[in-house]
Amino acid sequence: MQRALAVVALLSAAAAIAAAQGESPELLPFAVGAAPEGCDVGEGEWVFDEAARPWYAEEECPYIQPDLTCQAHGRPDAAYQRWRWQPRDCSLPSFNATGMLEMLRGKRMLFVGDSLLRGQYTSLLCLLHRGAPGGGGGSRSFETVDSLSIFRAKDYDATIEFYWAPMLAESNSDGAAVPDDRLIRGAPMNKHSSFWKGADVLDMSKDIVEMEAAEAYRLVLHQVTRWLEGNVDPKSARVFFVTASPSHAGAGGECYDQTTPVGAADAASYRGSTSRRMVQVAGEVLGASRVPVGVVNVTRMSELRRDAHTQVYREQRLAKPTAEQLAADPRSYADCTHWCLPGVPDAWNELLYWKLFFPARDEAI
């Protein structure tokens, strides 16, 4: 189950834009406008748009990991790439890669979390790569050292990074191996948070199971808010909470061989695996934070996309089946948690882009 936070620090440009528009100079960091009143971008429908989607081709993006390259691993259909998220009562602004890089000039953006958040991180790199191609002379670079991956846009003096900390707090999942029982420590987040300080943009995500998941989640979120309150200035930074990315595994919810989103006739009653209690806990804890936290609601939109998971079309790293085993029982090997790229995580980044640059008018310092 995916959760994410993003912290974004601002250049002084936002205040100047606000003044030019005759608005209060207390405009949120990075904001260049305001969302229409009553616009909930998390509610809407998926619209097939062959002309405008996908944003990029799988083979064009050099940053996609083999476990997310569904076409390269034999997926026979590509329609899952061509759906666009349309909010119910408003429209999303077009993602502007050059504009985003300009706003990140001289800044550091850091994603912290698990493999699902790494998928969103990779999606953002692909969107920037396609929308604002780098020049020659090594203007961009990418490297991974231990738990940290770093993308450098040298022309903008900007970095976009991913740090592996699947539960945010110190846990037995911090290494490469996945334990049967996941354990978190209730101590302060010193081990990981030392990597976060100085980041201008910070995306956080974690996966918690066992230990009464909702209460474990509450524990970690309390640690997160305490860290934010001690380290983030809301007048120069932004914080976002990205809601759960659902899994479609389990009885009646298998993703294998699905090729279209949940239809409009079934959408109202369809629910994926997302725990509503977890969403409630997040609202309670983050709502009480002294550092304002905006919500990027990707849960509902993602629940409708059981067709867009990697299924069996990925690099099989653990318990790799033989071709005969895969052919005999493909459902048991289908990954119904992670997403193909291009795909659903691109829409998550569209929502993050919207929330970052066009926050609701009631989201103010």
> Which pLDDT score is estimated for 20?
41
Q: Which of 164-168, 263-267, 317-321, 355-359 has the highest mean pLDDT?
A: 355-359
Please give the Cα distance from 295 to 134 (Å, whole number): 31
Please list the alpha-helical segments (H only) found in 203-293: 213-231, 264-267, 276-287
Backbone angles phi, psi at 334, to 5 degrees: -75, 135
Averaged over 220-224, what is the pLDDT?
Answer: 84
Catalytic residue, chosen from 115, 236, 273, 275, is 115
Beta bridge partners of residue 51, listed in sequence order? none
* Inter-CA distances, 125 with 60, 97, 130, 141, 156, Å: 12, 10, 9, 11, 14
C-beta separation of 146 from 195 below 8 A: no
Residue range 300-353, pLDDT digits in tens: 899 999 999 999 999 877 667 888 888 888 888 899 999 999 999 999 999 999
- Out of 123, 245, 338, 346, pick the active-site residue: 338
**192 and 163 in contact (C-beta within 8 Å)?**
yes
The dihedrals phi and psi of 225, each to the nearest 5 degrees, come to: -65, -35
- The two beta strands, 148-153 and 140-145, are antiparallel
d(CA 334, CA 354): 32
> What is the per-residue pLDDT across 192-213, written as a single tens digit (0 to 9) for each?
555 555 555 555 555 444 456 7
The pLDDT of residue 28 is 77
Mark out the alpha helices in 76-212 (DSSP H runs).
97-103, 115-131, 190-193
- What is the spatial distance between Cα 358 and Cα 282, in angstroms, rounded to a whole number? 23
Q: Rounded distance, CA 137 to CA 152, Å?
A: 13
Contact predicate 320/314, CB 8 Å = no
pLDDT of residue 341: 98
73 is catalytic: no
307 is catalytic: no
Residue 241: strand pairing partners: 5, 295
pLDDT in tens, 269-287: 776 666 678 878 888 998 8
- Given 67, 307, 335, 346, the catalytic residue: 335
Active site residue 335: yes
- 348 phi, psi to nearest 5 deg: -60, -40
What is the number of other CB atoms lying within 10 angstroms of the CB of residue 360? 17
- Rounded to an integer, what distance in angstroms lies between the CA atom of residue 127 and that of residue 234? 27
pLDDT of residue 2: 44
Kindly list the structural domains of the chain, giving each domain's residue range(s) and its CATH number in brackets, ordered by start: 4-357 (3.40.50.1110)
Does residue 243 or residue 50 have the better pLDDT?
50
